[in-house]
Each structure stands twice: as structure tokens, then as C-alpha cells.
Chain A
Amino acid sequence: MSDPQPLSRPGGTPHAHHLLLYGGDEQFLAAALPFTRDGLAAGEPVFIATSRYNTALLKQHLGPRAEQVSFAPAHWHRTPAQALLAFHDQARTFQGPSRVLGEPPWAGLSDDQAREWIRYECLLTLALASTGAWHLCPYDTRTLPAGVLHAAQLTHPTLTTGTAHRPNPAHIAPEEFSAACDSVPLPGPPAHSEQFRFDGPQHLAQLREFTARLARTAALAPDRIDSLLICVDQAATTAVGHGAGGGHCRIWTTTDEVLCEVTDPHGTLNTALAGYLPPATAHLDGRSLWIIRQLSDATDIRSSTNGTTIRIRMNRRRPTTPP
């Protein structure tokens, strides 16, 4: 066990993604306060995106120094894909060392949603590598489900108590972890789903028309229909260009969502990192899945002997979005 020492920045390593398991205010503050204060003292931007309770707690203990800290606006963690983009862009904007205390909103998530937030944690390590950002991820051991706490110990390369850091022996390579998330098969489309087959580029316009009609019937907001059409068109374009030259699209609605599934029967996509990481270079192929994940509320991609399926999900009931 190392001696307590000031929290020094973890060098230029790509492992600046620390897990803090805390069981109360004291344990939280013991890590969060020095993390914040030392960052400010070093002149580094500090950004806090945590629960309302922990935000208030930190503000109270930071006193006037809280004014130097940026606190996340509401809805910062709207979807995992958008949170990853926001953190990545922010780190790049700072162009140097920065610190982030980030706690996703775990409360009230469905199993699917929790799985994607868990996956986001493992991908964050890759997305932030070389940006200079140091993320501290607090997990409340009193309230979080055992599965979330267990996964947190697999997705963070470093463990911290606030006074000491140590490498996490249980950490799994992000690509492997993300692939494991995809080993859970998606539930099949319901029998009442509507289907459209496309056999080439000449059918894309009809596919969009088919999609728009069903989305309007489901009362999806017009701006969300625009986004959905980009996603469906892109998924089908990929199938037309790379796969069998065609495929099929199934659409159905639930109380909460409109789901559009585009299947390329000959697709063999490796899904582990498909469209999850910010496009750093100009490869259009990598960006095409990224844009689908960014514009949808959630997208599940699976490959099997039946090809590659891209399931795009749009919320019918959306929380008010920030301007």
C-alpha cells in the first residue's frame, strides 16, 4: 500500500480514468475535494457532472472556489453517445490537462440503458486517451445495483480512494468488454412489425418514405423524424454499398420508442467498437455508424450468421432538450 500523497496527475498515460467507490459523503469528499482543489491549483479546467446532491455537497465544501469550477448543465448525460462526444470535444477544446468528475444518472434506467451506460464507461478510456483529460468516476455503493458496481470494476483501469491510486487488476480491455456487451442477443422484432425490402440505391427514397410515414403515425416530433431518416438511410446505404446490395428494414413502436431495424443479410461487421469512438480521421466508413449513434436515442448493432443488424431507437416521449 502506498503512502498517502498529493494526487498527482497520472502522467501522459492513457489510464486517466479512475474509479471511486464511495459509501457516504465522507468517502466521496475525500476524493472529490482534493481532485478538484489540486486541479484548480494547477490551473487546470475542472468540470463536474454529478448528481444534484453531490453537486450541492461539493459546492458547500469548495466555498468560493466553486466559482472556478464548471458544473454540467442539465441533460449533460442525455445519451451515452452524446455524453462521450461532449466529454471528448471538451477535452480537445481545453488543449491540455483537464479534470472531470463524472457520475452518469443511473437512477431509473432500464436494463438496456444501464448496459449502454456501462459500455460507455469502458469506451471513455479509449475516447479520452491522449486528450489530457483525467476522469474521476464516483460510484455510490449504497444505492447502485450490484451489476453496475461489478461492471464499474471491470471498466476502469485505475482505482482510487482519493489519497492513493492503484492499477485495477480486474480491468478488461475496452474492446473486449464492449464485445461482451453484444453477446446478449436482442429480442426479436414483434410479429406486427412492418417490413420494407430494398434491393439497391433506387429503393432508398421509398425506404425513407416508408420510415417517415410510420414515424409520423407514431407521433415522433418532426426534428426527430429528420434525424431518424438520416440514420435509416445511412444504415441502408451501408448495406447497399458493402453487403449484398440490399437488405430489409423492420419498424415497430412501443409505448416509449420507435424502433427501426436495418438488416444487411451478408454483413459481417465487428461490432465491438462500431461507431462508438469520435471520428478522428476522414474515413467516411467509421463516421457512418458514429452519426447513427449520435442522432438516435440508442442504437444496437449485432452481427451473426444472419448478417449485421442495426437497430435504431428513438424516444417517443422526450424530456425537454436543452437549446
Chain B
Amino acid sequence: MRLPTYADALLRIWHTDDPPGLRLSGQIDLTNQTALMGHLLALNGAPADVTVDLREVTFLNFAALHALVSYAELLGPGRRLVLHTRTSVVGQMLLACGWDRPELRLTLLEETSDE
């Protein structure tokens, strides 16, 4: 397995080629939310959808989600940000802020498992 391109006490980030994007593991909060934004911006602008795999993320703070939404808002036409998660709370936050509106280029894939 590839080494993470970013690692701290709470979070590890890998760049992925298939699908193009990022895979994250751990927790994202005030201490490392800028790392997520930095690595998003470092993705090269290939004319493709960007997938951020959050399935191994146990905590994603509100500001980090806001950063992801801002990134989606900046994507060019025809491209989408795909968020892959295992918790329903991401979807709840998107809904609460009107970030579920169709014109936003963001797709949420929820894999919620029953406990």
C-alpha cells in the first residue's frame, strides 16, 4: 500500500488515481482541516470527477465539510465532487445548509451500515 502523502496524530491522506481524488482515514478537526483543503487544491485539474473517500473517517468537522462544498462550487462545468461516507451525519449537514441543491456539483454516496 502506498504511503500517505499526509499524516498527523489524527489524520492520514492518500492521493488516489482510480478514482482520481483523495482517500482519508482518521479525524478531521480544527487542527488539520487546512491539510484537507491543501491536498484538495493540490489535485491536478484533470477533466474528471474528484472522489474524496471518507469511509475511514470517524469524524469530519463542519468547517471541513464547508471546505469540501466550497471546492465543489469551484469545479468547472461537467465535473463533480463525489463524497463517499459511512455516516449519515454528512448528509444531514448538507441538507441543513442547503448544500443538497441540485446545481451544486456534489454527489454524496452513503454506505451506512446497520449497527
Interface residues of A (CB under 8 A from B): 85, 89, 201-202, 204-205, 208, 222-223, 226-227, 229-230, 233-234, 237, 240-241, 278-279, 284, 287-288, 290-291, 294-295
Give B55-81 as 1s and 0s: 1 = Cβ < 8 Å from A's Cβ atoms.
Answer: 000010111001000000000000000
- State the CA gap A204–B87 with chains docked (Å): 20
Judged by a CB distance under 8 angstroms, whether B51 is at the interface is no
- State the CA gap A295–B63 with chains docked (Å): 15
Contact in complex: B29, A205 (CB < 8 Å): yes
A to B contact number (C-beta, < 8 Å): 65
Judged by a CB distance under 8 angstroms, whether B97 is at the interface is yes
> In the complex, what residues of B have CB within 8 A of residue A227's CB?
89, 92
Within the complex, which residue of B29, B66, B96 is in contact with A233, where a contact is CB–CB below 8 Å? B29
Within the complex, which residue of B9, B27, B31, B61 is in contact with A234, where a contact is CB–CB below 8 Å? B61
Contact in complex: B31, A226 (CB < 8 Å): no
Contact in complex: A237, B61 (CB < 8 Å): yes
Contacts A230-B61, A237-B63 hold; do A204 and B93 have CB atoms under 8 A apart?
no
- The interface size bin for chain B is 20 to 34
Interface residues of B (CB under 8 A from A): 9-10, 27, 29-31, 59, 61-63, 66, 87-89, 92-93, 96-98, 115
Contact in complex: A202, B31 (CB < 8 Å): yes
**4 nearest A-B pairs in the assembled complex, by CB-CB distance:** A294-B96, A226-B89, A201-B30, A201-B31
Contact in complex: B30, A237 (CB < 8 Å): yes
If over half of A's interface residues share one DSSP class (helix, strand or loop), that class is named, otherwise mixed; here it is helix
Contacts A205-B10, A226-B87, A227-B92 hold; do A240 and B97 have CB atoms under 8 A apart?
no
Contacts A201-B30, A202-B31, A223-B87 hold; do A233 and B98 have CB atoms under 8 A apart?
no
- State the CA gap A229–B93 with chains docked (Å): 13
Contact in complex: B59, A291 (CB < 8 Å): no
Contact in complex: A234, B62 (CB < 8 Å): yes
Contact in complex: B10, A223 (CB < 8 Å): no
Name the residue of chain A whose CB is nearest to the CB of B10: A205
Contacts A223-B88, A287-B66 hold; do A204 and B96 have CB atoms under 8 A apart?
no
Q: List 15 A-B contacts (CB under 8 A).
A: A89-B98, A202-B31, A204-B30, A205-B27, A205-B29, A226-B88, A227-B89, A233-B59, A234-B62, A237-B63, A279-B98, A287-B97, A290-B97, A295-B89, A295-B92
Contacts A205-B10, A205-B29, A278-B98 hold; do A291 and B93 have CB atoms under 8 A apart?
yes
Within the complex, which residue of B10, B30, B89 is in contact with A240, where a contact is CB–CB below 8 Å? B30
> In the complex, what residues of A have CB within 8 A of residue B9's CB?
205
- State the CA gap A85–B47 with chains docked (Å): 36
Nearest CB of chain A from residue B102's CB, rounded to whole Å: 11
Within the complex, which residue of A226, A237, A241, A290 is in contact with B96, where a contact is CB–CB below 8 Å? A290
Nearest CB of chain B from residue A322's CB, rounded to whole Å: 13
Contacts A204-B29, A222-B115, A237-B29 hold; do A230 and B89 have CB atoms under 8 A apart?
yes
- State the CA gap A294–B91 with chains docked (Å): 12
Nearest CB of chain A from residue B88's CB, rounded to whole Å: 5
> In the complex, what residues of A have CB within 8 A of residue B31's CB?
201-202, 204-205
Nearest CB of chain A from residue B114's CB, rounded to whole Å: 10
> In the complex, what residues of A have CB within 8 A of residue B59's CB?
208, 229, 233
